[in-house]
Structure 1
Amino acid sequence: MLRRREFLQLSVGLLAFGCQKPAAKSAKNLRFAVASDGHYGQPKTDFKLYHENIIKNLQKEHSERRLDFVVFNGDLFHDNVDFLPDVKKVFDSLGLPYYVTRGNHDHVTPEQWRTTWGYDLNHAVEIGKNAIILADTSNIKGEYLCPDIPWIDKQLAGFTKKENVFLFMHIPAKMWSEHGTECPELEKMLGKYPNLKAMFHGHDHAIDMGKTTSKPAFFDGHYGGNWGVSYRGYRIVETQADNKCYTYQFNPEAQTKVNEQVF
């Protein structure tokens, strides 16, 4: 039998060789996808196939590299609100948390939106040490509008302790092409919040890269519709340990990254 002194010496030795209580694992980095402009129901397009493909490709992305959630950033359907229940069924089949914004082709009332999705046209979500803000930029007539700037300001003020905040708006608040608006008050306000890492826009199917303003702004081309960049893809965003984020556009048909950027 071990005497008391020998037992204590053995215990100390075991601790020195790795029998300590394991250190707590650090929280995993956030990883999400953004896909815009599906235009479910657009005449003379293969919209059902486009939606089958985006769901299949996002599920593959999740199985291989993990996604925490997906944002479908506007123009969910094409003009006719009768398609709204159908596109919701498609998104529900994803099997992952997802969020949506209204685009100018989503001719839907605030009440129809709330009944379908369970939240308002302007909506914010806390996700651990991160947060996302989903802002409306249109109306039932499909006009191009600036978002509700005081509402966004209020959300950002409430998220100042979050490490990363991301803002999603279908229509860009700057005229990077003819498909935008000019909202200088928004740009000025956003500059007050250092933890707001980036904005994400859809709407302009022909842009799949980042733009520079008071905050980085990223587009993701399109996954439906009848015009735009030559492929139908989505954008990936990953938070990193050094207070940076990494993003790239992904072409699932070619299995290639496009426009990689750290911000």
Structure 2
Amino acid sequence: MLNRRNFLRLTVGGTLLTGIDALAIPFGKKPVLRFATASDGHYGEPNTPFTDRHQAMVDRLNQEAPDFFFLNGDIFHNDARLLPEVKKVWDGLKMPYYISHGNHDMVPEDAWQQTWGKPWHYGFEYGDCGFLVLNTADVTGKYICPDMSWVRENLPKYDHKKHLFVFMHITPVKWTQYGIDCPELVDLFSKQANLRGVFHGHDHAEDGVKEKNGKAYFFDGHIAGSWGVPYSGYRIVEVFADGEILIYQVNPDSKDAVNTFEVKG
């Protein structure tokens, strides 16, 4: 699946990656954790093939068989009546999955939690890895920064983990058309020694990575919706026992990865 020519120059955690350096990526090693993430299903958006694209993604992920999947916001499109229907689709996954709240997921937090069993902000652990899930929109779809009091209280709970990953639908840096600036949050991320990646949806036309203060912010295109990159993609993260992490974007219609990055722990 991977094409070693598809490496980009990136500095993460003090490690400079180039096309030559990338040859050291640990192909053939078995990861201790392998998870997938995708976003922006926009289930119910008029004049889009949302039903087919959702089912195709569920089928593809079941073939990939990661340890778990993360659905990073804009799961449905505005109409809260679609929530039970779209959950039934994602319940077709054969692995555990987690979710985040997006700006088009226009439903009150209590109804959201009743459906998914998770609030808008939460955390979880998997082995040596910690995961933090942050909310970036209110019930009307307005873009907002995450609840900083919650972040300041909960971020230190994962300091003891070897790796930390964050999921939030909207990027906290205004480097994309639809991003917003959350400088206090970015400052906390910059100081978090074990933070290996922040994962976003929202910007359907973005499927690469951006860097801020040595931290990587990843995008995954979109599952469905009416605009964006010309494929329905997802991102894979592989964590190895020696601390190396391999992160790559997948176009299911191609034999090669869209882009690949190695992060040194």
Pick the structure with more helix per residue: 1
Deviations 1:74-125 (A, max 9, x none): 0000000011001100111112110000111000101101100112110101
CA distance in 2 between counterparts of 1:97 and 1:235 reads 16
SS at match of 1:217: strand
Query: What percentage of residue pairs aligned between the two structures are identical?
Result: 44
CA distance in 2 between counterparts of 1:184 and 1:163 reads 25
- RMSD, aligned CA: 1.2
CA distance in 2 between counterparts of 1:254 and 1:159 reads 36
Q: Determine whether 1:81 maps to 2:84.
A: no
SS at match of 1:131: strand
- Within 5 Å, give how 1:148-167 maps onto structure 2: 148-167=147-166
- 2:209 counterpart letter in structure 1: G
- 1:246 counterpart letter in structure 2: L
- Within 5 Å, give how 1:41-60 maps onto structure 2: 41-60=44-63
Aligned length: 233
Q: Determine whether 1:253 maps to 2:256.
A: no
Alpha-carbon distance, 1:256 to partner: 2.2
Q: Determine whether 1:217 maps to 2:217.
A: yes
Structure 1 residue aligned with 2:241: 241
CA distance in 2 between counterparts of 1:254 and 1:243 reads 29
**Higher relative contact order (CA closer than 8 Å, sequence separation 6+):** 2
SS at match of 2:191: coil
TM-score, normalised by the number of residues in structure 1: 0.86
Alpha-carbon distance, 1:126 to partner: 1.2
Structure 2 residue aligned with 1:19: none
- Within 5 Å, give how 1:130-169 maps onto structure 2: 130-169=129-168
SS at match of 1:137: coil
- Within 5 Å, give how 1:1-263 maps onto structure 2: 29-62=32-65, 67-214=66-213, 215-263=215-263
- 2:247 counterpart letter in structure 1: T
Structure 2 residue aligned with 1:21: none
CA distance in 2 between counterparts of 1:262 and 1:149 reads 30
Runs of 4+ in 1 over 3 A off after TM superposition: none
SS at match of 1:191: helix
CA distance in 2 between counterparts of 1:205 and 1:79 reads 17
- 2:147 counterpart letter in structure 1: D
TM-score, normalised by the number of residues in structure 2: 0.85
